[in-house]
Amino acid sequence: MENRLQPGGIDLELERRGIKASPVRVLVLRVIKDKKFPMSVQEIESELDTVDRSSITRAMTLFHKAGLVHAIPDGSGSMKYEYCRQANPGTHSDQHVHFHCERCGTTQCFNSIPVPAVELPAGYSATSTTYVVSGLCEECSKCMANEPN
């Protein structure tokens, strides 16, 4: 049998997580991995016009459970997904601030800004933190500044 897994390839990455490397899963993971910003299922669908939304949603749910992506509720009404880029994927320890532009709808990662520590009451323990700042991105701020009042 021919070994279709290539060292460092997406197929191998999926197989290491116990995920069968179907063509759809490989395509979806490649799109999310190649982007430097979180994407919604709809945005992934627009990149992959041959893959239906339900298949993408199932893949993202599976990837999230396996720790390949983390989910970001950015306030836009749809979940955004980002590839986990830390040294030990799957732990979701790459917690950083996200920014959601209220004008253009983009969500950006500020990898160099860690999520501030929150001291919880005794008896509570956090497993993850989502920190989203909303406002206007740099580009939209410029556009707004140039618009007549």
pLDDT per position as a tens digit, 42-90: 999 999 989 999 999 999 999 999 888 888 888 778 889 988 876 554 4
Pairing of strands 39-40, 79-83: antiparallel
pLDDT of residue 3: 39
pLDDT of residue 1: 34
* Longest alpha-carbon distance in the chain: 68
The Cα–Cα gap between 86 and 69 comes to 11
Q: What are 133's strand-pairing partners? A: 99
Of the two residues 122 and 9, the one the predictor is more confident about is: 122
Residue burial 91-108, b: 16+ Cβ < 10 Å; e: rest: ebebebbbbbbeeeebbb
Checking if the pLDDT of 4 tops 50, the result is no
